[in-house]
Amino acid sequence: MKIDHLGIAVKTIGESIAFWRDALGLENVHTEEVEDQKVRVAMLPIGETNIELLEPTAPDSPVARFIEKRGTGIHHIAVEVDDIRAHLSKLKSEGISLVDEEPRIGAGGCLIAFVHPKSTGGVLMELVEKPAENAGSKE
Ligand code: ZN
């Protein structure tokens, strides 16, 4: 397993890119709207992982509600796994509380599922399984 990305809730990607890209020097390699989660995401690789900026696209977006309650900042940690369904059923059998019992399609065509913060010590965790065509690229 490895950390695929750190999700950071921002008001707008346009504003926050001034820090992550312009000041820090990361490259924004991918921007995409994920309708299912009502967010626009920007992916900025950093070493073996990525910074994922999450901008809400609607007031009822989970990220909009997060910002309302807790302000901008770290929203979730995403862990890459080989077999997301196997991980979900293992976690479920351990009594871990899941936001998504079935994987959904996330940014970049990945399968994703969230694990509830009440089972992780307060950190929203995302499991990510890369689409098969990318599977060979992680050595
Ligand atoms: Zn994410």
pLDDT, mean of each 10-residue run, the chain (139 residues): 96 96 96 92 96 97 96 97 97 97 90 96 96 60
In CATH, what class is 2-134?
alpha beta
**How far is the centre of ligand 1, averaged over its atoms, from the C-alpha of 47 (Å)?**
17
d(CA 17, CA 2): 25
**How far is the centre of ligand 1, averaged over its atoms, from the C-alpha of 135 (Å)?**
18
Q: Where are the domains of the chain?
A: 2-134
Q: What is the pTM of this model?
A: 0.90
**How far is the centre of ligand 1, averaged over its atoms, from the C-alpha of 8 (Å)?**
8
CB within 8 A of 51, min separation 6: which ones? 5, 6, 8, 20, 26, 43, 44
Element (H, E) at 68: helix 62-70
pLDDT at 135: 52
Place of tokens 């807790």: 70
pLDDT at 134: 52
User: Percent of the chain scored above 90 by pLDDT?
Assistant: 86
pLDDT at 106: 87
**How far is the centre of ligand 1, averaged over its atoms, from the C-alpha of 23 (Å)?**
23
